[in-house]
């Protein structure tokens, strides 16, 4: 399983939000590029970058910083936030990222997902499903759609995309624990390549997710507070992952 540090960018700084609330922000660094280099030097095999400004505005706000991060590290970078048209997806790839993460548009413009997959290739596309009370939240978590998470998962899989980032918003930034029950219920037999975020606070949480077959664990607040020793996590938890068991195949 990959242990993936998150770099959430707002106003050019590296921050973490509490339960996605823009009014409850903690700034951990004024230099996101330096943070990316730090995580890579500690042993990260991938960096997850979120443009929080873009997630709310719907257009790229921090693309120059994303480009700098991708240029500064020798590990793959995936990025999301405000990618709501093909132009934005292409711009992110042109900036040097390995994967684009699409969230809001999956609910509001379902045809876009197919277009991006056709243009960039399905392996470059990750769908972000941010859950609030069982429904998908959109626009930087400022709105909650009427689309149940389980229903959107089925729609996503029908497009051929099999890599999903699942975040339980109620756990995000809280230093509690992931919603293991929801993860198992939603993805336990779906054969998806799953990345989990929200509430990951200990090496034990990471180990549990790895045993569940999760492909990647995205660590935010706990990486910055020191609740998780990231060097130890990279050293002891990271290993080739497998998806949740089903028929032995993956869509």
CA atoms of 205 and 216, how far apart (whole Å): 12
> Closest Cα partner for 198 from 209, 186, 187, 185?
209
Element (H, E) at 47: strand 47-51
CA atoms of 216 and 151, how far apart (whole Å): 22
The 10 Å Cβ neighbour count of residue 51 is 26
CA atoms of 233 and 4, how far apart (whole Å): 10
CA atoms of 232 and 137, how far apart (whole Å): 33
Give the burial class of 239: count Cβ atoms within 10 A of its Cβ; 0-12 exposed, 13-18 middle, 19 or more buried. Answer: exposed
Query: 190 and 157 in contact (C-beta within 8 Å)?
Result: yes
Query: 132 and 138 in contact (C-beta within 8 Å)?
Result: no
Instruction: Say which DSSP state 83 is in.
Output: -
Query: 122 and 157 in contact (C-beta within 8 Å)?
Result: no
Instruction: Say which DSSP state 243 is in.
Output: P
Q: Which residues are catalytic?
A: 8, 130
Name residues whose C-beta falls within 8 Å of residue 110's C-beta, 6 or more positions apart in sequence. 155
């Amino acid at each position: 399983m990959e242990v993936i540090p998150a770099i959430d960018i707002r106003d050019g700084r590296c921050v973490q939000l509490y339960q996605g609330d823009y009014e409850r922000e903690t700034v951990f660094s004024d230099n996101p590029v330096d943070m990316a280099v730090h995580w890579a030097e500690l042993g990260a095999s991938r960096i997850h970058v979120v443009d929080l400004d873009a997630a709310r505005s719907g257009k790229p706000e921090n693309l120059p910083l994303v480009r700098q991060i991708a240029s500064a590290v020798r590990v793959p970078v995936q990025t999301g936030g405000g990618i709501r048209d093909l132009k934005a997806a292409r711009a992110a790839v042109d900036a040097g990222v390995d994967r684009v993460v699409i969230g809001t548009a999956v609910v509001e413009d379902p045809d876009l997902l197919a277009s991006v997959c056709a243009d960039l290739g399905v392996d470059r596309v990750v769908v972000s499903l941010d859950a609030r009370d069982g429904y998908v939240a959109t626009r930087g978590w400022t709105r909650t759609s009427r689309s149940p998470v389980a229903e959107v998962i089925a729609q996503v899989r029908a497009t051929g995309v099999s890599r999903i980032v699942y975040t339980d918003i109620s756990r995000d930034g809280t230093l509690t624990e992931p919603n293991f029950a929801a993860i198992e219920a939603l993805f336990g037999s779906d054969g998806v390549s799953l990345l989990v975020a929200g509430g990951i606070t200990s090496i034990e949480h990471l180990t549990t997710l790895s045993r569940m077959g999760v492909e990647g664990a995205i660590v935010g607040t706990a990486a910055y507070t020191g609740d998780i020793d990231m060097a130890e996590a990279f050293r002891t938890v990271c290993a080739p992952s497998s998806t949740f068991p089903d028929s032995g195949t993956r869509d």
